[in-house]
């Protein structure tokens, strides 16, 4: 009898074989496949919506909530958005073959570092069908074979997308195995794939913290982790208050459910009496619930701004909703200490007019993005100019911050000489 491990090994071996062909495909060929994928998605919109309707019906019957069903839903407008997202990858520069550095050695050897694909990338994500085409497109453009393992509730939708993908690859003269949907969504098959060191070159889990920890704890293959974002905004003593208010409101309230949203506001005690009531009131006006330290509660109560006392668990917490922890800190050192203790190394921001404070903050804070006088919400591949992203890494190995096409590559040394020996 064939075990799951054997089945998954054979599956990953097909991917590995295809990865050797994809790694040397031309940019024109990869772009052609992307254009065909967009065309296939549009041509088969009815099939996609039909497959998705079955997934949706099952998910409803299983009692999934409205937010879950909304993430799962495909309608013609969303399929069009998927096709457009795929087309947008065509315009991005192909990272493969890029020479990132080059130099000459005293003995005449010419050395350069050249980008190459990672190989086979296992994408693990939840029931969001658009991630299937997004991830496939990013992997394809960067020369990587994507193994696509979405949530079980979206399996039929993903199968329909995978058919479009397969037709697009063949149409561009690329191996059909150059992007593959994992044929079942059991935990067992995921564990098998995560054990295949040497066949799967990288696993990228996206989704809730539970899923990511499960992958990180069970993988034998390298994993780039995307843990939670416990992001702070620190209002320094020299902050411009109008700017501070605008940034804080945007960081907290523009989209509270995402990882680059602010979860905790730090206010310098030198300006707390003046700044905190104003900024806090602006947050409350946006429907934000404030949970403050003792000093915050005293100041806001006096100013008649609603606030509740924060419990210790409120600092370092990723609320992902319209709740904000607030703390008055004794200057820049206090802010740095708080962030080092409670931050998640995702995104940290300072609002200040002081060049010295900005310099110290950007130098001393360890986070994938350190922001001065702008919203934490800019820690995003699109916003930072990477074009698109497969996620935001909060581990420092290989990639730290948004992972775009370049972060899906490695670099090899190419050494050219005229007969040199040691």
Q: Which of 58, 240, 269, 286 binds a copy of itself (CB under 8 A)?
A: 240
Beta bridge partners of residue 171, listed in sequence order: none
Q: Does 105 contact a copy of itself by CB under 8 A? A: yes
Chain residues 339-378 in contact with a copy of itself, contact rule CB under 8 A: 340, 358, 362-364, 366-375, 377-378
Q: Which string of x and - marks every residue 43-72 that binds a copy of itself (by CB under 8 A)?
A: ------------------------------
Residues in region 175-234 near a copy of itself by CB under 8 A:
197, 201-202, 216-217, 220, 222
CB of 315 to a copy of itself, least distance (A): 18
67/367 Cα distance (integer angstroms): 30
Closest to 327 measured CA to CA, from 258, 341, 346: 341
Distance in Å, CB of 106 to a copy of itself, minimum: 9
Q: Nearer to a copy of itself by C-beta: 60 or 105?
A: 105
Return the residue of 95, 175, 229, 402 that touches a copy of itself, per CB under 8 A.
Answer: 402
For a copy of itself, give the closer residue by CB, 129 or 402: 402
Count of residues in the chain = 422
Strand partners for 323: 289
Quickly count: other Cβ atoms within 10 Å of residue 281's Cβ. Answer: 16
Min dist CB 362 to a copy of itself, Å, is 5
Q: Is 278 in the site for a copy of itself (CB under 8 A)?
A: no
Residues 391, 394, 397: CA angle, nearest 5 degrees: 100
Question: How many whole angstroms separate alpha carbon 19 and alpha carbon 121?
Answer: 10
379 binding a copy of itself? (CB under 8 A): yes
Q: Judge whether 264 and 230 are in contact, CB under 8 Å.
A: yes
Q: Residue 183 CB, nearest distance to a copy of itself (Å)? A: 26
- Closest Cα to residue 55, out of 43, 40, 70, 42? 70
Quick one: 323 or 410, whose CB is closer to a copy of itself? 410
Residues 6+ apart with CB under 8 A from 210: none
Torsion of CA 119, 125, 127, 133, to 10 degrees: -30
| Residue 388 in the binding site for a copy of itself (CB under 8 A) | no
Contact segment (CB under 8 A) with a copy of itself among 28-36, 42-50, 324-332, 398-406 equals: 398-406
In this chain, which of 10, 24, 46, 294 binds a copy of itself, going by CB under 8 A? 24
List the interface residues with a copy of itself, window 283-342 (CB under 8 A). Answer: 340
Please answer whether residues 160 and 44 qualify as being in contact, where contact means their C-beta atoms are separated by less than 8 angstroms: yes
- 216 vs 237, which CB is nearer to a copy of itself? 216
CB of 118 to a copy of itself, least distance (A): 5
Choice between 23 and 322, CB closer to a copy of itself: 23
DSSP state of 223: B
19 or 296, CB closer to a copy of itself?
19
Sequence-distant (≥ 6) Cβ neighbours of residue 409 within 8 angstroms: 95, 96, 98, 115, 116, 117, 118, 142, 143
Q: Is 351:371 a contact under the CB 8 Å cutoff?
A: no
Under the binding rule (CB under 8 A), the answer on residue 159 touching a copy of itself is no
Residue of 376, 368, 366 whose CA lies nearest to 248: 376
Buried b (16+ CB within 10 A) or exposed e, 129-147: bbbbbbbbbbbbbbbbbbb
Among 250, 293, 328, 389, binds a copy of itself (CB under 8 A): 250
Q: In the complex with a copy of itself, which residue's Cβ is closer, 157 or 347?
A: 347
Summarize as ranges the residues that interact with a copy of itself (CB under 8 A). 20, 23-24, 97, 103, 105, 109, 111, 114, 116, 118-119, 197, 201-202, 216-217, 220, 222, 240, 243, 246-247, 249-251, 254, 340, 358, 362-364, 366-375, 377-379, 383-385, 395-398, 400-402, 410-422
């Amino acid at each position: 009898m064939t075990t799951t491990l054997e089945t998954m090994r054979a599956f990953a071996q097909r991917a590995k074989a295809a990865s050797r062909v994809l790694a040397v495909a031309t940019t024109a060929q990869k772009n052609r496949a992307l254009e065909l994928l967009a065309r296939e998605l549009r041509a088969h919109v009815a099939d996609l919506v039909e497959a998705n309707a079955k997934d949706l019906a099952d998910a409803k019957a299983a009692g999934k909530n409205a937010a879950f069903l909304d993430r799962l839903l495909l309608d013609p407008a969303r399929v069009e958005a998927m096709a457009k997202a795929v087309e947008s990858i065509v315009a991005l520069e192909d990272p493969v073959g890029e020479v990132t550095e080059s130099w000459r050695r005293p003995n005449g050897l010419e050395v350069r570092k050249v980008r190459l694909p990672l190989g086979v990338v296992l994408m693990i994500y939840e029931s969001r069908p658009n991630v299937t085409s997004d991830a496939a497109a990013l992997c394809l453009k960067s020369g990587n074979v994507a193994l696509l393992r979405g949530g079980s509730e979206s399996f039929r939708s993903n199968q329909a997308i995978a058919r479009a993908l397969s037709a697009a690859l063949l149409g561009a003269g690329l191996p059909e195995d150059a992007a593959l949907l994992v044929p079942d969504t059991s935990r067992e098959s995921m564990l098998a794939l995560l054990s295949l060191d040497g066949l799967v070159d990288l696993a990228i889990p996206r989704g809730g913290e539970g899923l990511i920890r499960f992958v990180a704890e069970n993988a034998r293959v390298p994993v780039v982790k995307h843990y939670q974002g416990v992001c702070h905004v620190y209002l320094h003593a020299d902050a411009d208050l109008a700017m501070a208010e605008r940034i804080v409101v945007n960081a907290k309230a523009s989209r509270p459910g995402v990882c680059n949203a602010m979860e905790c506001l730090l206010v310098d005690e030198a300006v707390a009496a003046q700044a905190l009531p104003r900024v806090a009131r602006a947050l409350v006006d946006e429907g934000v619930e404030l949970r403050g330290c003792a000093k915050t509660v005293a100041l806001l109560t006096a100013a008649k701004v609603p606030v509740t006392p924060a419990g210790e668990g409120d600092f370092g917490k990723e609320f992902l909703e319209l709740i904000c922890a607030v703390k008055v800190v004794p200057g820049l050192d206090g802010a740095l200490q708080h962030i080092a203790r409670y931050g998640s190394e995702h995104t940290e921001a300072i609002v200040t007019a002081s060049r010295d404070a900005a310099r110290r903050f950007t130098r001393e804070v360890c986070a994938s993005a350190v922001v001065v006088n702008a919203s934490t919400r800019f820690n995003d591949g699109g916003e930072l100019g990477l074009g698109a992203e497969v996620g935001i890494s909060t581990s420092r190995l290989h990639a730290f911050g948004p992972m775009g096409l370049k972060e899906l590559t490695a670099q090899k040394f190419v050494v050219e000489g005229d007969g040199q020996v040691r």
